[in-house]
Amino acid sequence: MLAGLLVSGEAVAQPAELPPPAPAPRPAPKRPAPKPPKKVDLAPEVTALNGADDDAAMAAATNLGTSEQPGAHDALLDALAFGLPARVAVAALAALTQHPAPADVAALKRYAGHHTPMVRAAAINALASYPNPEARVAIAGALHDPAGLVRAAAAGAAAKGRVRDAVEPMLKLLAKGEEASARALAAIADPDLARKLADQYGKVPDASLALALGLILKRQDFGPDPARVEIVRAMAKIQDIAATNQLKDYLDATPKNPPRPSRQEAEMVWSARTGGGK
């Protein structure tokens, strides 16, 4: 009944998803064979979720989220539809993502406009688990939220969901010195985006730019190496100590052999800045 009374959000554009980064060559993990779901009685958990004890409701939400039984997920959706106290809603939203289903997006969007920033942040964070255009629009939109907590969640979600439409607002937030956006941009940057970031020199705080470029440099999946060289050269322009520290981190994290031009370039810059560490 509730689903019929509730409305979904407005029509959305179809934002593109960034291509996933090239996977690093790693040995395939050996996964244990899945166990058959354990049949447990959900009724006590559902009762607790809808009860007046918030702590018990939060624990119940977590338990229902981990449950493999279909009824558990529906119980979470029903509780969210009927309305939950903020703390319980946060737990329920996180629990939903344990077994994402397309129908969740409408519920998450509804809570993404909640009065309490903590709830909004949880909803946005959860939306990152859904490869859905509406979810991506909501994530990009949350970058404009006046609450820093929500913007940080949106930046994290944009990185996790590789939301292309989030790049421009995150560049603007980078200009305001927002660390979450620096980290998110670094996480999703390809060589083109890295170049665009390098071009922000002078337009964004040095420390934020150094952080973003430094994090890209350290990504194992970022390359080829000439792209890293470009980043090192961009970092060489940044006078802030943060750039020097990021280059040192890169040097520490990268073996000398086989020789890598980007490392050699970084070493030159770092030596020039510090006198070789003396």
The length of the chain, given as a count of residues: 278
Select 105 or 234, whichever has its Cβ closest to another protein: 105
Select 7 or 28, whichever has its Cβ closest to another protein: 7
- In the chain, what are the helix, strand and coil shares in percent, each to the nearest 5? 60, 0, 35
Select 172 or 218, whichever has its Cβ closest to another protein: 172
Select 29 or 83, whichever has its Cβ closest to another protein: 83
Question: Which residues form the interface with another protein (CB under 8 A)?
Answer: 1-2, 5-7, 9-10, 50-52, 81-86, 110-117, 119-120, 143-147, 150-151, 169, 172-173, 176
What is the closest distance, in whole angstroms, from the C-beta atom of residue 265 to another protein in the complex? 34
What is the closest distance, in whole angstroms, from the C-beta atom of residue 78 to another protein in the complex? 11
- Is residue 109 within 8 A of residue 8, CB to CB? The reply is yes
How far apart CA 41 and CA 43 sit, in angstroms, is 6
What is the closest distance, in whole angstroms, from the C-beta atom of residue 5 to another protein in the complex? 5
How far apart CA 106 and CA 8 sit, in angstroms, is 6
What is the closest distance, in whole angstroms, from the C-beta atom of residue 231 to another protein in the complex? 26
Q: Rounded to whole angstroms, what are the CA distances from 106 to 12, 73, 91, 110, 124?
A: 12, 14, 17, 6, 12
How far apart CA 125 and CA 261 sit, in angstroms, is 38
Select 156 or 169, whichever has its Cβ closest to another protein: 169
What is the closest distance, in whole angstroms, from the C-beta atom of residue 155 to another protein in the complex? 12
